[in-house]
Amino acid sequence: RKEVEQDPGPFNVPEGATVAFNCTYSNSASQSFFWYRQDCRKEPKLLMSVYSSGNEDGRFTAQLNRASQYISLLIRDSKLSDSATYLCVVNMGGRAGGTSYGKLTFGQGTILTVHP
């Protein structure tokens, strides 16, 4: 089983649609969670951190379910500019000095295309 798994898509949605991405992680000791977006031939950019209580930033809502080891990202009222690859990223945790301390593990990414 992969450490971080995402549905690769692609998701093709019309403008204005609501779309949801899911992600599961294998390590129950994982400490922190993020969604990044990456445009074609560009660097990953932090979209939002994911908190235990869930959090919202404008049209974007992130949820975390630690019991099910599951993270989601909901995008409402999709815009053409939302077209990108969305990366689910997990910090597996670990102790200072350990081999996984500070290390991020990336999912394979979910491709979203928003069309007119």
Partner 1 sequence: DTEVTQTPKHLVMGMTNKKSLKCEQHMGHRAMYWYKQKAKKPPELMFVYSYEKLSINESVPSRFSPECPNSSLLNLHLHALQPEDSALYLCASSQDLTNHQPQHFGDGTRLSIL
Q: Which residues lie near partner 1 (CB under 8 A)?
A: 31-32, 34, 41-46, 49, 87, 91, 93-94, 96, 99, 101-104, 106-109
Report the alpha-carbon distance of residue 27 to residue 3 in Å, rounded.
7
CB 64 within 8 A of CB 28: no
**Quick one: DSSP state of residue 112?**
E
Min dist CB 17 to partner 1, Å, is 24
Nearer to partner 1, 17 or 91 (CB): 91
Min dist CB 5 to partner 1, Å, is 12
Nearer to partner 1, 70 or 101 (CB): 101
Report the alpha-carbon distance of residue 20 to residue 22 in Å, rounded.
7
Q: If you compute the radius of gyration of the chain from its CA atoms, what whole number of angstroms results?
A: 14
Min dist CB 58 to partner 1, Å, is 18
